[in-house]
Amino acid sequence: MKIYLSILLLLSFAINGFAEDYNRFAQVKTVSCDFKMERYLAIAPQPLISSGHFYFRQPDFLRWEYLEPQKHGFLIDGKKAFSWQEEKGEKIIKDISGQPLARMMSDRLRMFISMDMEQIGKSYRLEPFADGLDLIPLDIDNKQQQIAKIRLIFDAKLPTVTQTIIMEKSGEKTVITYFNNQLDQPIPDAASVP
């Protein structure tokens, strides 16, 4: 589920050009930011909170890394994909390049980066509002579809998203808040290593 939520984060950065000046968003080559994720579950009285860092570079580089409460993450670089987690101070890395989920993530990444609105429109109905955009899954009546709506809230000045809210049919939700956004800055070489 965390990997799927991460794909939605990428969607947040890529699709926001549809709601505002598309050219301004499409020209961003790199994004680096910190994030805080709050997961609201029916069984938990308080949200589960995690935080980390995100890197993106066109055309197909993405690193989503959780730093708290546990260190883990994933990296997509072209057709290569890796996941990792730390256990007892040791980093365990898995090559997930051949897994269908990794291929799907890579394909989605390219679709969102290229702003292929025809393809995006095959999955979501887009509803703009004053500060952002709602994405309603077209297959919302499918029992396997857990997402009811994705709300993207845009930064008033920068071509970035400040918050993604993923609302599930169950009433549970995930709120991802992005901060310390850096656009078109070099991505550190270390970010390319799982």
Q: Which residue has the tokens 């993450």?
A: 73
- Calculate the CA dihedral of residues 39, 50, 89, 75 and round it to 10 degrees: 90
105 is a domain residue: yes
Task: Report helix, strand or coil for 19.
Answer: coil
Provide the residue range defining the domain that includes 51: 2-184
Half-sphere exposure of 122 (CA within 13 A, CB side): 7
189 is a domain residue: no
194 is a domain residue: no
Task: Return the DSSP state at 188.
Answer: P
Residues of the chain with pLDDT under 50: 3-22, 113-115
Q: What is the pLDDT of residue 39?
A: 97
What is the domain-level CATH number for residue 167?
2.50.20.10
Q: What is the pLDDT of residue 69?
A: 95
Q: What is the pLDDT of residue 15?
A: 43
- How many of the other CB atoms lie within 10 Å of CB of 147? 19
190 is a domain residue: no
Q: What is the pLDDT of residue 14?
A: 43
Structural domains counted in the chain = 1
113 is a domain residue: yes
Cβ proximity of 62 and 78 under 8 Å: no
Q: What is the pLDDT of residue 13?
A: 45
92 is a domain residue: yes
58 is a domain residue: yes
In the sheet with 161-168, reading across from the earlier edge strand, the strands are 90-95, 80-87, 72-77, 61-68, 48-57, 30-40, 173-183, 161-168, 147-154, 132-137, 124-129
Q: What are the tens digits of pLDDT across the range 64-118? A: 999 999 999 999 898 899 999 998 889 999 999 888 887 777 666 555 544 456 6
Give DSSP secondary structure letters for 138-172: TTTTSTT--EEEEEEEE-SSSSSEEEEEEEETTS-
192 is a domain residue: no
